[in-house]
Amino acid sequence: MSNFFKPADFKDFDEAPIPQPLPDGSYEPVLTKEDLKICSRRMWVMDTISYAYATQNAPCATFAAYYALRKIYGGDQDAFNTAILNQLDCVFNATPPVCGLLLGAGLALEDKGHLNGMQAENDLKIGLMGPLSGIGDVFIWVLPLTILGSIAGYMAMEGNPVGILLWLAIWMAVLAWRWQNYVQGYDMGAQLITGLADKISILTDAASILGLTVVGSLIYSAVAIYTPLTFTFGDVALPIQTGVLDAIFPNILSVIATVVVYRLIKKGVKLNWIILGMIVISCVCAAFGILGVAPAA
Amino acid sequence: MSVNAIQFLLIVLLSGFRALDQYSTQLFPFQHALMCWLVGIILGDPATGLIVGGTIQLMSMGALGLGGSSAPDYGMAGMVATVLACITGTGDVSVGLAVGVAVAMLYVQLDVLFKVYNSWVFSVVRKHAVAREYNKMLRSFFLSHLYLFLQGALPMALVLAFGQPVIDAILGFMPAWFTTGLNVAAGMLPITGFAMLLTFMPVNKFYAFLILGYVLSAYLKLPVLAIALLGAVVAVEYFQLKSNTTTAVAANGAAQNGDELEDE
């Protein structure tokens, strides 16, 4: 068990060599299959447990990559510290059982480029986490839960646990796969950078385009700010949300709030204060009926 | 029936483990029927466990907390419902289920609080990372695990000790503005994630694509996967266009030096 979550050949800073760049400025990749499997297992222990609104799942990804990064940067403590803080700060969220594919690909970029590969790694993660989750959520959660869950539920209501056991067996197969999925991700990432070395900044821009498109769509679809206020002129009632705001611009409150929060972060306001402020504003506005929960469509 | 000490301990541990497992190891994610069955087995009434579990499992369809959203916690609901149904022992599961659903709703609020708590855990982790205390950093991650275990275990201990009146009391204690307020906040809080994300990206250079994504979603109502694919189309074309230009420039430079440059 000792090397289930930690590599057997782990070296501390003072024993590990300081990595030397190759003539072209890149580095000799050091991660082995075993190192990547350890990342997968560490990700499994974390999954999505560190989820916070600000950085989402980035801390889990950091915990998973810890020993891989230690191996990449060897005795170079400053570079390792930069890398670990980058992992913590780079917002990440994807369907946990499949996110190893993307995080493994990112590690491949960092393994080859070290700190120079970091920006490309971040952009790759941010750009592809939405699409990966779109596919992952369907194949890992929605489909199995709908199909296996209804079978298990119906059979259980009739007093038969076979459906439950069937679901359990299929899920164990998924678990066995996820315990090594960084390996496949790493291979994909390594292929991506071969022959692309000169074009990495263009690739970064292209990934940013993809990322911004997805973020733009999420500002509409994943944020819900609703006001139940209604103007009344005599007999005519005009609901502000559907009659005024949505007529100007759908979900305009979400856009305004996003711009405000973005500016606050840029100005250096601490995220925890922003979050606390949001909760206070929500409670106050809810108490006076200014904001509410949208009625189900 | 009454619950003996061993049953009490086993159910509290199972409840803590389930809450933890849902976010962490995911050995049995969303498998509410299984958990209720196990509670039934512990209490010596597997049949009731299966019936309650099956009902809760079907009720929970579609209640997935995906992409960081908060969903009613039907797992906790199922276990509480099973306990109450087994304790009352009348074979009538409806009271247990009603309380269970109230618990599920209550836990939506707890889920928001948990994610806010995680912001604090993150600040601890980051502080240790900056100070280069990596062993402390790695240990700090497990503050989240601890919290979730307690979030599952402690309320279950209360339910086992005091039963149904406790649930009614808690629900009655929370004022409406507070529960509504937390719901409103849950809808608003994902913004902090997107805004943070945007500070990492070249917004000034490519802000137009934010508008594109928003329009595709808000006006054309496309699902996120379709929008991502359209974004990929633009990204691929941009990449090819730009890398051809770079190659052409490089080719010009090479030609001036009198070298031959072959296409890749």
Higher-pLDDT residue of B183 and B14 is B14
A181 and A61 co-located in one domain: yes
A242 and A186 co-located in one domain: no
Nearest to A152 among B26, B33, B231 (CB): B33
Residue numbers in chain A where pLDDT is lower than 50:
1
Q: What ranges make up the beta strands (E) of chain B?
A: none
- Domain assignment present for A18: no
What is the DSSP secondary-structure string of A252-276?
Answer: HHHHHHHHHHHHHHHTT--HHHHHH
A95 and A242 co-located in one domain: no
Q: Do B192 and A278 touch (CB under 8 A)?
A: yes
A258 vs B contacts (CB less than 8 Å): 191, 194-195
Domain of residue A271, residue span: 226-287
Please tell me the predicted confidence (pLDDT) of residue B261. 41
A95 and A192 co-located in one domain: yes
Q: Do A126 and B197 touch (CB under 8 A)?
A: yes
A73 and A123 co-located in one domain: yes
- Domain assignment present for A5: no
A189 and A240 co-located in one domain: no
Nearest to B184 among A51, A89, A286 (CB): A286
- Domain assignment present for A17: no
Torsion of CA B208, B213, B218, B219, to 10 degrees: 70
Residue B231 CB neighbours (<10 A): 28
Question: pLDDT digits over A122-175, tens only?
Answer: 888 887 787 777 677 767 876 677 677 777 887 887 788 988 998 999 899 999
A53 and A182 co-located in one domain: yes
- Domain assignment present for A187: yes
pLDDT at B170 over 70: no
Q: Do A167 and B123 touch (CB under 8 A)?
A: no
Q: How far is B163 from chain A (nearest CA, A)?
A: 24
A205 and A230 co-located in one domain: no
Task: Give the span between the Cα atoms of A213 and B214, in whole angstroms.
Answer: 7
Percent of chain B with pLDDT over 90: 31
A114 and A246 co-located in one domain: no
- Domain assignment present for A88: yes
A92 and A203 co-located in one domain: yes
Contact predicate B147/B114, CB 8 Å: yes
| Boundary residue ending a domain (A214, A244, A273) | A214
Residue ranges per domain, chain B? 5-189, 201-256
Chain B: residue whose CA lies nearest to A40? B25
Total structural domains within chain A: 2
Q: How far is B168 from chain A (nearest CA, A)?
A: 22
A291 vs B contacts (CB less than 8 Å): 184
Chain B: residue whose CA lies nearest to A91? B197
Q: Do A51 and B264 touch (CB under 8 A)?
A: no
Task: For residue B103, give the nearest of B173, B159, B187 by alpha carbon.
Answer: B159
| Boundary residue ending a domain (A162, A179, A214) | A214
A159 and A252 co-located in one domain: no
pLDDT at B99 over 80: no
A63 and A119 co-located in one domain: yes
